[in-house]
Amino acid sequence: MSGRIMTLARLLRERKISCRELIDRYICRIERLNPLLNAYVFTAAKQSYKQAERAQKMIDGGFGDILCGIPVAAKDNICTEGVPTTCCSKILQGHIPLYSAYAVRRLEERGAILLGKTNMDEFAMGSSSETSCYGAPSNPVNLSKSAGGSSGGSAVAVAADIAAVALGSDTGGSVRQPAAFCGVTGFRPTYGTVSRSGLIAYASSLDQIGPIAASAEDAAIIYDAIRGRDCLDMTSVESPSAPSLVETDIKKLTVGVPREFFSDMVSDEVKSAIGAAICLIERAGARIKEVSFPHLSAALSAYYVISCAEASSNLGRYDGVRYGRRIEGADVEEMMVKTRSAYFGREVKRRIMLGTFVLSGGYKSRYFARACAVRESICSAFEQIFGECDAIITPTAPTAAFDKGGNPSSAEAYSADICTVPASLAGLPAVSVPCGLTEGGLPIGMQIICGRMKDSLALSLARFYERAADVRVKLCGEVLSEL
């Protein structure tokens, strides 16, 4: 069994298909499926064909590698030169960046072809992609279900194969949770290993670009291409290569299972799917160890305090002057108030207000400083666990995909991020892999978290599991009949 990237690369190299034909095929699928799925908010056909021509020359010249000619999509908060990048927000309508993000450049240098930009929650704030100003994407497994978020469009595009692979961004789970909901693999790398240059900021100390792919093998190939130190992001760091370490001896591993991640919040179907996956890993020879992670509920509060605080500062730049749209006013202040009031959505405004509040005089030590202290304790708790375990297994989300348009309260929506925020706060690598289906056929995601810089180990374990379990996710009839 080989991954989607490897399969396409072989077809291209053996001249069974040309780059142009491959792009034709993908664009044709997008035209048929996107009206149903709303995964893409912009396509870049003209540019894709130009890139295909270049990729073909690279292949013909004998120096095209595995990513040459591979069609990729990028979340709409990742800057792409000449292609709109709007964070699915009204405030950035018409914004066309003058440069591409480091991760996009790295892929394009290798000959990958950008198909377009994918749908997301406005400024990556959310878990259902429903705060997008273009309307939510639909889950290709069941159109009435949420695709997850905030990188919902990227997960949908990969699941429906209207992109071979996609980039997402993960602040508190936005790569892993939509991947889990749509039945694909989502990887959040160690913080800093992929440059944030060109990623539009939500919460800078948490934001991380990561791949959403059809398999852990594909995710590893993309991660390996986009990682690396970049002088435009002072927090970026060099990391070990992923594919070179992808063979791991499962018998040497100790896998921790933190009991707090299996509370009453987690549905029975999720619990039993993860339980079965743990049994499979144990039968393969790994040692399973029950561990404790006492800070779980505090992690959620700390995440929302810190992310909103950083967001309130980061989003100050949308002032009607430097980027995007403007509504005129009698003076500068009125112009700013009118612009921000009209063009930011409700959730974004809520978070800016929350963030401003927790940073304000008198409250800073009560909220922000305490959240930072909780973050420290979370890092130590992980350190302690990784003293005795190589990896941790948890659910990616407490349930499979929820209904679209369910309109949960903020507290309900925020608490569904409980399983993904701890790794984000500690900056650790974490991957979500499909590990079973609910009775209704909805995918369930398992999260594998590893220690800092152990990205390859997380991906190797994910790859081992994917191969051993061979979970098959079925797309819904409406999607299949369009093909």
Q: Is 454 a catalytic residue?
A: no
Residue with smallest beta-carbon separation from ligand GLN: 174
Q: Give 48 or 169: the residue with its C-beta nearer to ligand GLN.
A: 169
User: Which residue shows structure tokens 């930009």?
Assistant: 117
Question: Rounded to the nearest whole angstrom, what is the least distance from the CB of residue 424 to ligand GLN in the complex?
Answer: 7
CB atoms within 10 A of CB 186: 35
How many CB atoms neighbour CB 135 within 10 A?
Answer: 12
Go through the chain and tell me how many residues it has. Answer: 483
- The C-alpha atoms of residue 195 and residue 23 are separated, in whole angstroms, by 28
Q: Quick check: helix, strand or coil at residue 84? A: coil
> At its nearest, how many Å lie between ligand GLN and the CB of residue 400?
16
Contact call for residues 9 and 66 (beta carbons, < 8 A): yes
Give the C-alpha separation, 126 to 308, whole Å.
Answer: 12
State in angstroms the smallest separation of the CB of 183 from ligand GLN.
19
Residue 474 is a catalytic residue: no
Could you tell me where the DSSP H helices lie in 315-406? 332-343, 346-359, 368-388
Q: Which is nearer to ligand GLN, 125 or 166 (CB)?
A: 125
| Per annotation, catalytic residue among 100, 128, 174, 197 | 174
Distance CA 462, CA 232 (A): 31
**Which stretches of the chain bind ligand GLN, using CB under 6 A?**
124-127, 150, 170-174, 202, 307, 417
Shortest distance (Å) from residue 206 CB to ligand GLN = 7
CA 248, distance to chain mean position in Å, is 25
Compare residues 66 and 428 and give the one whose CB is closer to ligand GLN.
428
In the residue annotation, 75 being an active-site residue is answered as: yes
- Which residue out of 18, 48, 75, 239 is catalytically annotated? 75
Which two structure tokens, joined as six digits, stand for 306? 């810190």
- Side chain identity at 263, as an amino acid letter? S
Residue 121 C-beta: closest distance to ligand GLN, Å: 7
**Which residue's CB is nearer to ligand GLN, number 108 or number 170?**
170
Q: Which of 48, 129, 146, 150 is catalytic?
A: 150
Which is closer to ligand GLN, CB of 127 or CB of 248? 127
Contact yes or no for 38/136 (Cβ under 8 A): yes
Which positions are annotated as active-site residues? 75, 150, 174
